[in-house]
């Protein structure tokens, strides 16, 4: 699994997961429980990860959607 992005924005996370799901790209959200435990200060962002073989396609989709700025470098 490779990290696609990190974010504290739940709307952004939800939108990206929906975009990936529509494209049949399996993805997981990591650190959800840690983010909830630490509270609302945003110290622990949630991460979206995809299988290695889907990383290039997932990155391309987000770039085409105008969201290149949210991608992990």
Question: The tokens of 64 are what?
Answer: 């085409």
CA separation (Å) from 2 to 11, 41, 56, 65?
Answer: 21, 26, 10, 20
Reading across the β-sheet that carries 46-50, which strands appear in turn? Answer: 2-7, 46-50, 27-30
pLDDT tens readout for residues 5-59 = 999 898 999 999 999 999 999 999 998 877 555 556 667 889 999 999 999 999 9
Using alpha carbons only, give the angle 22, 58, 18 rounded to the nearest 5 degrees.
30
pTM of the model: 0.84
CATH of domain 2-70: 3.30.70.790
Domain ranges of the chain: 2-70
């Amino acid at each position: 699994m490779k990290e696609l992005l990190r974010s504290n924005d739940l709307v952004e996370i939800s939108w990206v997961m929906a975009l990936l799901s529509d494209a049949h790209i399996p993805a997981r959200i990591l650190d959800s429980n840690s983010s909830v435990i630490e509270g609302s200060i945003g110290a622990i962002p949630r991460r979206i990860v995809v299988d290695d073989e889907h990383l290039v396609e997932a990155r391309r989709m987000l770039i085409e959607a105008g969201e290149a700025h949210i991608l992990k470098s």
